[in-house]
Amino acid sequence: MKVKFNINSLVRDNIKTLKPYSSARDEYKDVAVKNMVFLDANENPYENGVNRYPDPQQNLVKEILSELKSVPKQNILLGNGSDEVLDLIFRAFCEPSKDNIITLPPTYGMYSVLANINNVENKEVLLSDSFQPKVSQILEKTTEQTKILFLCSPNNPTGNTFSVTVVEELLTKFNGLVVIDEAYIDFSEQLTWLERLKDFPNLIITQTLSKAFGLAGIRLGICYASEEIIAILNRIKPPYNVNELTQKKAIERLLEPGNVVKEIEKIKLQRKWLMSSLEEVSFVEKIYNTDCNFVLVKVDDAVKRYEQLTEKGFVVRNRTNQPLCNNCLRLTIGTEKENSALLQALKEII
Ligand SMILES: *Cc1c(COP(=O)(O)O)cnc(C)c1O
């Protein structure tokens, strides 16, 4: 457990003193009160379902999420995809051209892109051969200016989850913020870190509706952290960052968790089928374990097999240029029909 941790020592000075934009809906919140005439936001008064600005605090979405995930509402922040959430974290805590972050390749590409955009140095520490974080090397690379450690677990593109004891050690010994990206947690048998939020004041967890919830098109990312961290991120987020159509669609989907679970179960069954079937493909050399809705496979020649698959109408992700992923392809689990067609194609391209 963390004893001495002061979030204010990590916040950029300009963010500490920032006066946030105050929108019309921040100043008069009670839109549910009947018979009020809203003449404060220069909206077009003729109703069409979206003529009013959306709720800047996305209260209904957060209430449903809070119930579903057993996390209080004040520990939740929503963004235009996880990508916006991650960008807000950079902008709140990393001083451009001064601070740095640590990422563990091979991993999700957005962390390094966001570091570049924000002019923040990205110190890389490769995962071990079994795709686990190397704790002592991470701690050795850490400096006074290291603000964030990004852990993607389950990890994209390797598919595995990081060991609980390793993550716990990092949460305890690393002196900055630890972001655990749980984009794929709903496909995993491993526990989410959400239950441990109270134990670690430096823990930030991100999730998304883009994968298991089947809503990549609406762009809704979720951030869970201490009240203090959420309050800081709230000060810098664009006032209406989650649009009305997105909020409506998210609410609809979050209210039918049974349907989401059914799809996840189908995907997991298909994952099992595809993984065992891939063993019959002559040029597949290794099938990595996965807790995600994709599987990483090592083949004899990734560039050649990628091109052959494309010719047959299958687009997969070639990860051969990522460290530790030589000749690896990442295959997303599709429908039953798509997966058997993929297997058929793989068997034909000998
Ligand atoms: C797909 C993915 C996301 C999702 O990002 P959104 O912006 O929410 O769509 C986040 N993290 C990882 C590791 C992913 O693979």
Atom of ligand 1 minimally distant from the CA of 107? 13
* 84, 110, 113, 127, best to mutate for ligand 1 pocket (most atoms within 8 Å of CB): 110
Q: Residue 312 phi/psi, 5° resolution?
A: -85, 0
Instruction: Check residues 31 and 332 and name the one with the higher pLDDT.
Output: 332
Q: Whose CA is nearest to atom 2 of ligand 1?
A: 183
The answer to whether 209 and 286 have CB atoms below 8 angstroms apart is: no
What pLDDT score does 2 carry?
A: 59
3-state DSSP percent of the chain in helix, strand and coil, to 5:
40, 15, 45
Per-residue confidence band for 3, with pLDDT thresholds at 50, 70 and 90: low
Atom of ligand 1 minimally distant from the CA of 108? 13
Per-residue confidence band for 93, with pLDDT thresholds at 50, 70 and 90: very high
Condensed to tens digits (0 to 9), the pLDDT of residues 213-271 reads: 999 999 999 999 999 999 999 999 999 999 999 999 999 999 999 999 999 999 999 99
Residue among 66, 67, 85 nearest 76 (CA): 66
DSSP class of residue 196 equals: G
What pLDDT score does 272 carry?
A: 98
* 89, 156, 180, best to mutate for ligand 1 pocket (most atoms within 8 Å of CB): 156
Checking if the pLDDT of 1 tops 70, the result is no
Atom of ligand 1 minimally distant from the CA of 84? 7
DSSP class of residue 55 equals: P
Average pLDDT value for the chain: 96
To the nearest 10 degrees (0 to 180), the angle between helices 81-93 and 227-236 is 100
What pLDDT score does 194 carry?
A: 98
Q: Whose CA is nearest to atom 5 of ligand 1?
A: 82
Residue among 242, 196, 232 nearest 94 (CA): 232
Ligand 1 midpoint to CA 108 (Å): 8
Atom of ligand 1 minimally distant from the CA of 211? 1
Q: Whose CA is nearest to atom 15 of ligand 1?
A: 156
Instruction: Check residues 31 and 7 and name the one with the higher pLDDT.
Output: 7
Mean pLDDT of 322-340: 98
The dotted CATH code for 258-348 is 3.90.1150.10
The answer to whether 29 and 239 have CB atoms below 8 angstroms apart is: no
Provide CATH 3.40.640.10 ranges for the chain: 7-255
Q: Residue 59 phi/psi, 5° resolution?
A: -60, -45
Condensed to tens digits (0 to 9), the pLDDT of residues 46-86 reads: 999 999 999 999 999 999 999 999 999 999 999 999 999 99
Residue among 149, 235, 152 nearest 200 (CA): 149
What pLDDT score does 29 carry?
A: 81
pTM over 0.85: yes
Instruction: Give one DSSP letter per residue of 104-165, joined into a string.
Output: -SSS-THHHHHHHHTT-EEEE----TTS---HHHHHHH--TTEEEEEEESSPTTT-PPPPHH
Residue with structure tokens 């190397």?
134
Ligand 1 midpoint to CA 85 (Å): 10
Provide CATH 3.90.1150.10 ranges for the chain: 258-348
Mean pLDDT of 113-129: 98
CB neighbour list of residue 302: distance below 8 Å, 6 or more residues apart: 318, 319, 320, 326, 327, 328, 329
CA distance 26 to 48: 23
Q: What percent of the chain has pLDDT over 70?
A: 99
Condensed to tens digits (0 to 9), the pLDDT of residues 290-314 reads: 999 999 999 999 999 999 999 999 9
Ligand 1 midpoint to CA 150 (Å): 13
Atom of ligand 1 minimally distant from the CA of 155? 13
Checking if the pLDDT of 204 tops 70, the result is yes
The dotted CATH code for 7-255 is 3.40.640.10
Atom of ligand 1 minimally distant from the CA of 216? 9
Ligand 1, CB cutoff 6 Å, lining residues: 81-83, 108, 152, 156, 181, 183, 208, 210-211, 216, 221
CB neighbour list of residue 305: distance below 8 Å, 6 or more residues apart: 283, 299, 329, 349
Ligand 1 midpoint to CA 289 (Å): 20
What pLDDT score does 27 carry?
A: 87
* The residue type at 54: P
Checking if the pLDDT of 43 tops 70, the result is yes
Ligand 1 midpoint to CA 152 (Å): 10
Q: Whose CA is nearest to atom 12 of ligand 1?
A: 183
C-alpha distances out from residue 272 to 51, 294, 318, 333, Å: 47, 11, 21, 10
CA distance 3 to 302: 48
Buried b (16+ CB within 10 A) or exposed e, 85-106: bbbbbbbbbbbeeebbbbbbbb
* 127, 161, 206, 208, best to mutate for ligand 1 pocket (most atoms within 8 Å of CB): 208
Condensed to tens digits (0 to 9), the pLDDT of residues 162-178 reads: 999 999 999 999 999 99
Q: Whose CA is nearest to atom 3 of ligand 1?
A: 183
CA distance 208 to 30: 28
To the nearest 10 degrees (0 to 180), the angle between helices 110-117 and 81-93 is 40
Q: Left if phi > 0, otherwise alpha if psi is -120 to 50, otherwise beta: which for 17?
A: alpha
Condensed to tens digits (0 to 9), the pLDDT of residues 316-326 reads: 999 999 999 99
